């Protein structure tokens, strides 16, 4: 692994952003065969806000790939202390979690935003929602995504369930119409099995590899960064 700013030495970012990424490391960088997406596998011992990750993706694109048709995607993982239970993690990570859900799947965002959180234990969370057809359809996906974020990204176990309660019929119909309208017009990319992070979309052109990351990437395949 290499330190983040050993790989991206040419980046100029704010003092705050540099401080947040200073002690993070990169295990590998991969490039799609069509050169449309650059994925950076980042490891951190502290939580990173969603807004900071998006700002760094944007900085990498604008300073190193401007004018190229390429998307920058930071795939973060956290190695947190044992003090982080699922309940504690949610308290600190709720804002970033909701921002990500809003970007990727508006229905999952609405479910987490509207539902009542019931912590039975520090690692057992139940989301209580009024019965709605669209929410019911997304139940399994919501559970999958939340568990993946907590357990795979953050290394914190969680038992997450969703419980539906009867809703007022008229209110339910109006809510379904509102959410359906939001969903159809949102253009959210959704989540894939490949990973959870969103990507910063670039502009038109073909990909190039400037500066210090030239040697870290091999065309069309994963390039692991060697140990120092």
Report domain extents, the chain.
1-70+202-228, 83-196
Would you state the pLDDT for residue 211? 44
What dihedral angle (degrees, nearest 10) is formed by the CA atoms of 209, 213, 214, 218? -90
145 with 196: CB under 8 angstroms? yes
Question: Residue 64 above 70 pLDDT?
Answer: yes
Rounded Cα gap, residues 80 and 168, in angstroms: 42
Terminal Cα distance for the chain, rounded: 7
Would you state the pLDDT for residue 172? 58
Give the count of beta carbons closer than 10 Å to the beta carbon of residue 63: 15
Q: Which pLDDT tens digit goes with each residue over 142-191?
A: 999 999 999 999 999 999 999 999 987 555 556 666 666 666 666 666 66
The whole-model pTM stands at: 0.78
Residue count (the chain)? 228
> Sheet containing 124-130: which strands, arranged edge to edge?
116-121, 124-130, 159-165
Domain spanning 83-196, CATH class: alpha beta
């Amino acid at each position: 692994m290499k330190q983040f700013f050993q790989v991206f030495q040419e980046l100029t970012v704010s003092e705050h952003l540099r401080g947040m990424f200073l002690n993070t490391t990169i295990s590998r960088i991969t490039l799609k065969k069509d050169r449309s997406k650059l994925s950076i596998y980042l490891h951190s011992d502290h939580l990173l806000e969603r807004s900071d990750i998006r700002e760094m993706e944007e900085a990498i694109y604008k300073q190193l790939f401007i004018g190229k048709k390429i998307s920058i995607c930071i795939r973060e993982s956290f190695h947190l202390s044992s003090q982080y239970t699922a309940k504690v993690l949610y308290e600190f990570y709720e804002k970033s979690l909701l921002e990500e859900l809003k970007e990727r799947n508006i229905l999952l965002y609405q479910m987490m935003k509207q539902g009542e959180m019931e912590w039975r234990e520090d690692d057992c969370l139940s989301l209580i929602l009024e019965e709605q057809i669209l929410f019911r359809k997304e139940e399994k996906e919501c559970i999958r995504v939340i568990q993946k974020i907590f357990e795979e990204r953050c290394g914190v176990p969680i038992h997450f369930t969703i419980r539906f309660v009867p809703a007022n019929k008229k209110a339910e119909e109006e809510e379904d119409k509102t959410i359906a309208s939001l969903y159809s017009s949102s253009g959210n990319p959704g989540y894939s099995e490949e990973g959870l992070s969103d990507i910063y979309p670039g502009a038109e052109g073909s990909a190039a590899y400037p500066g210090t990351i030239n040697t870290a990437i091999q065309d069309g395949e994963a390039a692991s960064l060697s140990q120092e």
